[in-house]
């Protein structure tokens, strides 16, 4: 089975026709099930979680109810679409995240992301890296990710090494930084996302990097597959290559979620062939 468990409708509206374009692209590329995972910060229910300047920049706040209605209506009509949300983990705001964003809605899957180190959104502008200590940025990133995994709020660790997005590389080995993240994730029955989005970014490398995926495999953590598409044409982007990457690292199953309950599906060699054929 092929899944794409990370994508965003945010460049369009919450209409069935816009959603259908994402689903149709997925189906045409051999993907049987998708999860829509809007960014929580776009919704009024997340107000105050991230700095005010960011909320102004991301435009007028939307309503989570409208989004949830769109997806649950599609589900009732039999569309193979999961209701997801991608939440920025903000250390110290666990209770707010739980009470305002996680608990009130019938999520199938909740993605946890770290895009902010303190008040610095490290993946927005490469110029913001000027004068920063890259090693300590990596250290802080993985420490925050470990805290996120420990929080127990999330089902999936999104783009686990997104700190590399602009190609600034730490000199230290990353596996020792990543291991505590995975051990915390393991204790919470979380999955780790394998994402083709990194190939579309300046770094030009899949998330997570091979040595980190080896560690995921060594610890037997479940995985999801993701494109992080923000446009229909990026749904299941590079999935032939992504499946091959997973397969050559020994991965034989992908995780699907219903109402936050995970189960495993075989990632057969036929899946990679399908995705490869579809490009």
Q: Which stretch binds Zn ion (CB under 5 A): 64-72, 209-217, 222-230, 236-244?
A: 222-230
Compare residues 153 and 274 and give the one whose CB is closer to Zn ion.
153
* CB of residue 39 to Zn ion, shortest distance in Å: 7
CA distance 38 to 85: 5
Compare residues 59 and 173 and give the one whose CB is closer to Zn ion.
59
* CB of residue 277 to Zn ion, shortest distance in Å: 26
Compare residues 86 and 274 and give the one whose CB is closer to Zn ion.
86
Q: Could you give the string, one character per residue 224-243, with x where binding to Zn ion holds by CB under 5 A and - elsewhere? A: ----x---------------
Q: Could you give the string, one character per residue 175-204, with x where binding to Zn ion holds by CB under 5 A and - elsewhere? A: ------------------------------
Compare residues 144 and 272 and give the one whose CB is closer to Zn ion.
144
Sites for Zn ion among residues 110-129 (CB under 5 A): none
Compare residues 84 and 272 and give the one whose CB is closer to Zn ion.
84
Number of residues that bind Zn ion (CB under 5 A): 2
Q: Which stretch binds Zn ion (CB under 5 A): 18-26, 100-108, 186-194, 220-228?
A: 220-228
CB atoms within 10 A of CB 252: 11
Compare residues 33 and 123 and give the one whose CB is closer to Zn ion.
123
Q: Which long-range contacts (CB under 8 A, 24 or more apart) does 17-24 make?
A: 19/70, 19/71, 19/74, 19/79, 19/81, 21/232, 22/229, 22/232, 22/235, 23/79, 23/80, 23/81, 24/232
**Which residues, in sequence order, are CB contacts of 27 under 8 Å at separation 6+?**
none
* CB of residue 10 to Zn ion, shortest distance in Å: 9
Cβ proximity of 183 and 194 under 8 Å: no
* CB of residue 87 to Zn ion, shortest distance in Å: 11
* CB of residue 76 to Zn ion, shortest distance in Å: 25
* CB of residue 8 to Zn ion, shortest distance in Å: 6
Compare residues 113 and 170 and give the one whose CB is closer to Zn ion.
113
* CB of residue 41 to Zn ion, shortest distance in Å: 11
Compare residues 55 and 86 and give the one whose CB is closer to Zn ion.
86
CA distance 64 to 69: 8
Of 124, 208, 200, 211, which Cα lies nearest the Cα of 172? 211
Q: Could you give the string, one character per residue 82-101, with x where binding to Zn ion holds by CB under 5 A and - elsewhere? A: ----x---------------
> How far is C-alpha 147 from the geometric centre of its chain's CA atoms?
17
Phi-psi region of 118 (alpha: psi -120 to 50; beta: other; left: phi over 0): left
CA distance 127 to 23: 36
* CB of residue 266 to Zn ion, shortest distance in Å: 26
Binding site for Zn ion (CB under 5 A): 86, 228
């Amino acid at each position: 089975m092929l899944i794409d468990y990370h994508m965003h409708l945010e460049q369009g509206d919450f209409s069935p026709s816009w959603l259908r374009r994402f689903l149709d692209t997925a189906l045409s590329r051999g993907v049987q099930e998708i999860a829509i995972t809007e960014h929580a910060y776009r919704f009024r229910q997340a107000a105050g979680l991230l700095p005010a300047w960011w909320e102004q920049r991301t435009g007028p706040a939307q309503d989570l109810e409208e989004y949830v209605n769109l997806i649950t209506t599609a589900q009732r009509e039999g569309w193979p679409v999961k209701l997801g949300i991608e939440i920025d983990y903000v250390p110290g705001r666990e209770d707010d995240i739980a009470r305002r964003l996680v608990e009130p809605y019938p999520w199938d899957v909740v993605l946890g992301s770290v895009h902010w180190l303190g008040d610095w959104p490290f993946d927005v502008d490469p110029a913001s890296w000027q004068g920063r200590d890259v090693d300590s940025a990596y250290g802080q990133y993985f420490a925050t990710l470990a805290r996120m995994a420990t929080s127990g709020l999330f089902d999936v660790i999104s783009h686990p090494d997104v700190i590399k997005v602009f190609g600034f590389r730490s000199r230290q080995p990353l596996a020792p930084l990543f291991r505590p993240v995975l051990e915390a994730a393991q204790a919470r029955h979380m999955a780790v996302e394998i994402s083709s989005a990194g190939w579309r970014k300046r770094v030009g490398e899949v998330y997570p990097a091979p040595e980190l995926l080896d560690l995921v495999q060594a610890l037997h953590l479940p995985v999801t597959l993701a494109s992080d598409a923000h446009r229909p044409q990026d749904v299941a982007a590079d999935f032939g290559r992504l499946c091959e990457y997973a397969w050559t690292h020994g991965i034989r199953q992908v995780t699907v979620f219903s109402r936050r309950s995970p189960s495993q599906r075989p990632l057969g060699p036929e899946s990679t062939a399908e995705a490869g054929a579809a490009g």
